[in-house]
Structure 1
Amino acid sequence: MAALPRVILFDLDGTLLDTAPEFERCINDLRQRYGFSVLPPDIVRNQVSKGSKKIVELGFPHITNASEIELLRQEFLELYEGNIGSHTTLFPGIEEVLKAIESTERVWGVVTNKIASLTNPLLAKLGLSQRAGCIISGDTTAHYKPHPESLYTAMNTLQAEPSECIYIGDDERDIVAANAANMKAIVALYGYIDPTDKPSLWHADRSIDSPLDLLVDLAESPDE
């Protein structure tokens, strides 16, 4: 294993935070509002990283009209915003990793497709806002991942070169974005990986089964 570089960037849902229970609760509340039963947990969990539109499509597979899906998505987001952080936790091992990062000359940040109006209160509620070196949300830039613009913005904010950075995510678009930004990438296999996904083909530099797998690499000085 090689030492991790100076800047360690995390995707949010499915990498830094386990938000699936909150998404599951909100989509099931919405389904019950319209007279449907709750979904099996794994159906939602494996798709959380795909975003709110995908969750709504899973919750209402009989609806194909784009306008109706968007209206349901707005209802879903209202439910989510009203309960944000109430059923979200850090993945096991993340707190230890963040403390290890903070105990060295490294810095960590968040780069997510989640919009700022949801990202910021969630991180604040979990006490992470002041600890992160940067927080780049989906609407911070003009393009969402897999476009690399959000990673470029993170690098500019932290005054870092691509060689000084690594990005950790649980979705293929995270790895595509990192490769496009010329930084190293790690797949978080503990995240929301669907059985149909093939992370071994995503062209990441490595994968981890647990955040704790990073601790050995953090024991060494930053690798540039």
Structure 2
Amino acid sequence: MMLKYIIFDFDGTLADSRNVFISAWNSLADKHQYRKIKREEWNSLRKLPILERIKCLNFPIFKTPLIIPDFYRFYRKYAKEINLYPGIKEMLDTLEREGHKLAIISSNSEDVIKEVLRRNYVRNISEILSSNLIFGKDQLIRKFLKENHLGASEVIYVGDEQRDILACKTTGVKIIWVSWGYDAKELVQSQQPDCLVDSPEEILEVLFQK
């Protein structure tokens, strides 16, 4: 069956928001009594499952709803510092020329995503779905499929985290996992994503083989 939509995660997949994320986390650490992230420990944190990462940073997961609004405010303030990874705009433009419809499902806020896309002259994203739940992407994927009258085999998801893989396996959607984002390759290989790529060009290679 031909793919009708390609769905992308945003942070860590299309956009490099690592520095803004670390700055936001550290700016809120004192207020919410959790540990700051040292920039030199980022690569080691990427190798930990998200719940272990949270535990390592002394962050009680029940506080997530309390800090999400603060995170969104920080991201809005510093959205100008979030840029697309090299090769991403060219990849999106190629997919559009080939007739693919593109969407984004993300934990970031819709207004931040739109600002980054606008600043990078990306106008070919037809739909953006946002959730402030850490583990809520399966719900958004189901919502997207239902609203667009799509079967799971008619879309593919492109993401960078272990939780993206879990959400896709839960919904029956195939996933292309990218290695340049928030989770390390060592962490996700055992999760067996459908495809694993190391560059935006490889995403095109995978999609054009289908």
TM-score bucket of the superposed structures, by smaller chain:
0.7 to 0.9
CA gap 1:32/1:168 in 2 versus in 1, 3 angstroms: same
Asked whether the equivalents of residues 114 and 138 of structure 1 are also in contact (C-alpha less than 8 Å), the reply is yes
Q: Which amino acid aligns with 2:154?
A: E
User: Does residue 123 of structure 2 align to residue 138 of structure 1?
Assistant: no
CA gap 1:39/1:159 in 2 versus in 1, 3 angstroms: same
- State the structure with more CA Rg: 1
Residue in 2 aligned with 1:211?
200
Deviation at 1:203, TM superposition (A): 3.0
Deviation at 1:125, TM superposition (A): 4.0
TM-score, scaled relative to structure 1: 0.71
CA gap 1:78/1:217 in 2 versus in 1, 3 angstroms: closer
Gaps of at least 5 residues in structure 2 are none
Residue in 2 aligned with 1:171?
161
Q: Secondary structure at the match of 1:215?
A: helix
Deviation at 1:186, TM superposition (A): 1.4
Query: Distance in 2 between the 1:76 and 1:202 partners?
Result: 29
Q: Which moved more, 1:175-184 or 1:154-163?
A: 154-163
Residue in 2 aligned with 1:9?
7
Residue in 2 aligned with 1:21?
19
Deviation at 1:159, TM superposition (A): 3.9
Q: Secondary structure at the match of 1:134?
A: strand
Q: Which amino acid aligns with 1:168?
A: V
Task: Indicate which of 81, 94, 103 corresponds to 1:100.
Answer: 94
* Matched positions, count: 203
Q: Which moved more, 1:211-220 or 1:167-176?
A: 211-220
Cα RMSD after superposing both structures: 3.7
User: Does residue 75 of structure 2 align to residue 80 of structure 1?
Assistant: yes
Which structure features the higher share of helix residues?
2
Q: Residues 155-198 of structure 1: CA distance to partner in whole angstroms, max 9, x if unpaired? A: 24444321111111111111111122212111111211247x52
Asked whether the equivalents of residues 17 and 83 of structure 2 are also in contact (C-alpha less than 8 Å), the reply is yes
Query: Distance in 1 between the 2:67 and 2:172 partners?
Result: 38
